[in-house]
């Protein structure tokens, strides 16, 4: 039976990416050697790095003055590297979930952190609005998609100070006005590549403004200067990222991704609202994530939670159990997830409804 992969991360990748990686592990670029077994300084791999950086720039229409880096350590490392590089005295953060909270915790090690607003009062089921970003902050940090709770910014907010975004789980899912951000980062394993690499898009002119000593490996300027090759980068995930970027380009770019993702999410939210068993956890439609759709059992059917999950799993739906801090269900609909998988999930939801 066909499995439908709704895992939140690591998550489904395009078949194209997986096939290309398998091929390159045996014979990369006609070298007669596998990509995992060659120097990262070989001209063949340097070309991979350069193409991946360029394609990232092309797909997101990244303006002049920005650099694209691929760094080890995932998004969590960036929680600490961002304030180390950008915070002289004070920063502002929007607290929209567990990942945002972790970023805030690390930032506090480097100076004063003002949490401008938080949705923690309602278990992060909405995106705060009407907050004021202090003009004396060195930067303002947001999490564009809250993977665990299923809320998302659908446009790029304004900020009076340089803006930084964790886009781990919605990068390349829609067009982004990169010029509004000073820095965008994320782990690759949600929408781009296998785990092991983080992408960083950074505007060069915001660097070099802090007094503290920054360890060489954590200084963004090191990686800019060395073309993201200061040390051995995560070669295989970067190769996979390049394949996903090519796949996005060949499938119409980020605007086409946005349309597809929107169609998938709309179908699923409509079914959750129609089906007598379920309701969405995010009631405010404009805050609903297109990437991570969360829902719960209506109270009167609460005892069906486990049996439904079992039924869905038996029918090939994998990874739809909600995060332990939210409960219920979550289906992650990243770029690579086909519409067919959403339709299959909806069918299973309807079949179960008919049984009771």
Active site residues: 99, 166, 190
How near is the Cβ of 9 to ligand PLP at its closest, in Å?
Answer: 5
DSSP-assigned beta bridge partners for residue 143:
166
Q: How far is CA 185 from CA 61, 75, 131, 178, 197, in A?
A: 16, 7, 23, 12, 11
Cis bond before residue 3 (omega within 30° of 0): no
Among residues 67 and 141, whose Cβ is nearest to ligand PLP?
Answer: 141
Token pair, residue 294, equals: 């969360």
72, 234 in Cβ contact below 8 A? yes
194 binds ligand PLP (CB under 6 A): no
How near is the Cβ of 97 to ligand PLP at its closest, in Å?
Answer: 8
Among residues 162 and 196, whose Cβ is nearest to ligand PLP?
Answer: 196
Measure the CA angle with vertex 289, ends 299 and 85; round to 5°.
130
9 binds ligand PLP (CB under 6 A): yes
147 binds ligand PLP (CB under 6 A): yes
Q: Pattern of binders to ligand PLP over 80-119, x per CB under 6 A?
A: -------------------x--------------------
How near is the Cβ of 96 to ligand PLP at its closest, in Å?
Answer: 9
DSSP string, 75-107: HHHHHHHHHHHH-SSEEEEEE-SHHHHHHHHHH
Token pair, residue 62, equals: 């990244």
Rounded CA-CA distance 192/243 in Å is 9
131, 117 in Cβ contact below 8 A? yes
DSSP-assigned beta bridge partners for residue 96:
none
Among residues 71 and 277, whose Cβ is nearest to ligand PLP?
Answer: 71
Among residues 45 and 149, whose Cβ is nearest to ligand PLP?
Answer: 149
Helix (H) or strand (E) run with residue 354 in it: helix 339-355
Q: How many chain residues interact with ligand PLP (CB under 6 A)?
A: 12
Among residues 187 and 328, whose Cβ is nearest to ligand PLP?
Answer: 187
Pick one of 14, 74, 162, 237: the residue that binds ligand PLP (CB under 6 A): 74
Q: Which residues ranging from 151 to 190 are in contact with ligand PLP (CB under 6 A)?
A: 166, 168-169, 187, 190
308 binds ligand PLP (CB under 6 A): no
- Chain residues that interact with ligand PLP, rule: CB under 6 A: 9, 74-76, 99, 143, 147, 166, 168-169, 187, 190
């Amino acid at each position: 039976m066909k499995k439908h992969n709704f895992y939140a991360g690591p998550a489904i990748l395009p078949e194209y990416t997986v096939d290309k990686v398998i091929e390159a592990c045996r014979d990369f670029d006609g070298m007669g050697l596998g990509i995992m077994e060659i120097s990262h300084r070989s001209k063949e791999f340097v070309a991979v790095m350069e193409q991946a950086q360029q394609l990232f720039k092309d797909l997101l229409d990244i303006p002049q003055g920005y650099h694209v880096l691929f760094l080890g350590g995932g998004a969590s490392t960036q929680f600490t590297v961002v304030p180390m590089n950008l915070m002289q005295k004070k920063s502002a953060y929007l607290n929209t979930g567990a990942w945002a909270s972790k970023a805030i915790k690390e930032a506090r090690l480097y100076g004063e952190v003002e949490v401008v607003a938080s949705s923690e009062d309602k278990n992060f089921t909405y995106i705060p609005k009407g907050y004021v970003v202090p003009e004396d902050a060195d930067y303002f940090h947001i999490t564009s998609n809250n993977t665990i709770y299923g809320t998302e910014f659908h446009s790029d907010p304004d900020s009076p100070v340089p803006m930084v975004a964790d886009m781990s789980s919605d990068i390349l899912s829609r067009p982004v006005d990169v010029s509004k951000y000073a820095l965008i980062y994320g782990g690759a394993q949600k929408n781009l590549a296998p785990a092991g690499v983080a992408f960083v898009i950074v505007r060069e002119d915001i660097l070099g403004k802090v007094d503290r000593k920054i360890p060489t490996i954590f200084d963004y300027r090191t990686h800019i200067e060395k073309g993201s090759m200061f040390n051995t980068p995560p070669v295989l995930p970067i190769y996979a990222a390049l394949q996903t970027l090519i796949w996005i380009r060949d499938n119409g770019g980020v605007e086409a991704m946005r349309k597809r993702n929107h169609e998938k999410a709309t179908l699923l939210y409509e079914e959750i609202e129609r089906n007598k068993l379920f309701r969405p956890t995010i009631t405010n439609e404009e805050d609903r994530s297109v990437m991570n759709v969360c829902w719960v059992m209506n109270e009167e059917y609460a005892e069906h939670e486990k049996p439904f999950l079992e039924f869905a799993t038996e029918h090939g739906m994998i990874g739809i159990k909600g995060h332990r801090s939210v409960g219920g269900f979550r289906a992650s609909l990243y770029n690579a997830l086909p519409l067919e998988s959403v339709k299959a999930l909806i069918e299973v939801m309807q079949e179960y409804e008919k049984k009771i």
